[in-house]
Amino acid sequence: MHGKSCQDMFSHISLMTLDSLLRCTFSYNSNCQESSSDYIAAIFELSTLVIERRGGEEKRKRVADFIDLLLLSKDEEGRGLTNEEIKAEADTFMFGGHDTTASGISWVLYNLSQHQDYQDRCRAEVHNLLQDRQTEDIDWEDLSSLPFTTMCIKESLRLHSPVSAVTRQYTQDMTVPGGRVIPQGEDRGMGHTTGNCIGQKFAMAELRVVVALTLRRFRLTPGGVEVRRLPQLVLRAEGGLWLMLETLDTPQD
């Protein structure tokens, strides 16, 4: 994209986060950002790949993904996960980390479009990180060099939490350390115990990389459409979240 264009952040970023998760979870290139695909079918089609991977059909060298880690996981008695357990974990990772991350990124970009001074400070931080490099690759070790960008992301997450409430119930009585018994049917909020978000660190890393590279390539301004929060299971905006994107010159250009 060159020049200026008004875009709905949610629609584009949702495809990007889906594509990213498919690659990192299944080593699967969906190309969903450039070609139309059935959203649900693209995910559930991969359950077959899990079985094939387990059968040892994929021998090529590649970076280990989330499924590989699940396949290698064993309990204290040396038992691995069943196919159904692996599929359940993968589905949780996919559905829990796709729209939520897209929502978080979209609201960060919206907030930065409202505060040009903060946007400029974040952009300067990114330029300082990448100024002597031949590529725009941001590695895990680089994330600590984006402290102001990280603070802006965390403040946006505080103002616009992607998931405002997650309710779970115990299916049976549970005894916790100290001998206290939590009765069946009791609600348990997400993150209140060691069962925290499975992809928290992954999502935060993705947020920082996407925000950094977006600000490096574009200037964001309000899209001229009133933004009204739409609280659903995942926080959205009524009618989409529209922003004006203006292409910026980068050293590679």
Domain ranges of the chain: 4-176+184-247
Q: Is 108's pLDDT higher than 90?
A: yes
Stretch among 74-88, 96-110, 201-215 having the lowest mean pLDDT? 74-88
Number of H helices, E strands in the chain: 9, 9
Structure tokens at 206: 């993705």
Q: How far apart are CA 167 and CA 171, in angstroms?
A: 13
| pLDDT at position 82 | 78
Query: Are the C-beta atoms of residues 14 and 102 closer than 8 Å to each other?
Result: yes
| pLDDT at position 81 | 75
Structure tokens at 124: 């300067």
Strand partners, 7: 243
Residues 6+ apart with CB under 8 A from 193: none
**In degrees rounded to 5, what are phi and psi of residue 82?**
-80, 170
**Region class of 56: left (phi > 0), else alpha (psi between -120 and 50), else beta:** left
| pLDDT at position 241 | 93
Structure tokens at 168: 């779970």
| pLDDT at position 80 | 79
- Give residue-wise pLDDT tens across range 227-253: 999 887 788 899 999 999 999 987 555
Pairing of strands 218-222, 181-182: unpaired
Q: Is 166's pLDDT higher than 70?
A: no
Highest mean pLDDT among 67-71, 92-96, 239-243: 239-243
What is the pLDDT averaged over residues 22-50?
Answer: 61
Q: Between these two residues, 170 and 57, which has the higher pLDDT value?
A: 170
Burial of 144 (0-12, 13-18, 19+ CB in 10 A): exposed
| pLDDT at position 30 | 67
What is the pLDDT averaged over residues 96-103?
Answer: 80
| pLDDT at position 200 | 78
- Give residue-wise pLDDT tens across range 170-218: 788 888 777 888 788 776 544 444 445 656 788 899 999 999 999 999 9
Rounded (10°) angle between helices 200-217 and 147-159: 110
Q: How far apart are CA 32 and CA 227, in angstroms?
A: 27
pTM tops 0.85, yes or no: no
| pLDDT at position 154 | 92
Pairing of strands 181-182, 4-8: unpaired
Q: How far apart are CA 238 and CA 221, in angstroms?
A: 18
| pLDDT at position 151 | 95
- The fold of 4-176+184-247 is Cytochrome p450 (1.10.630)
| pLDDT at position 38 | 58
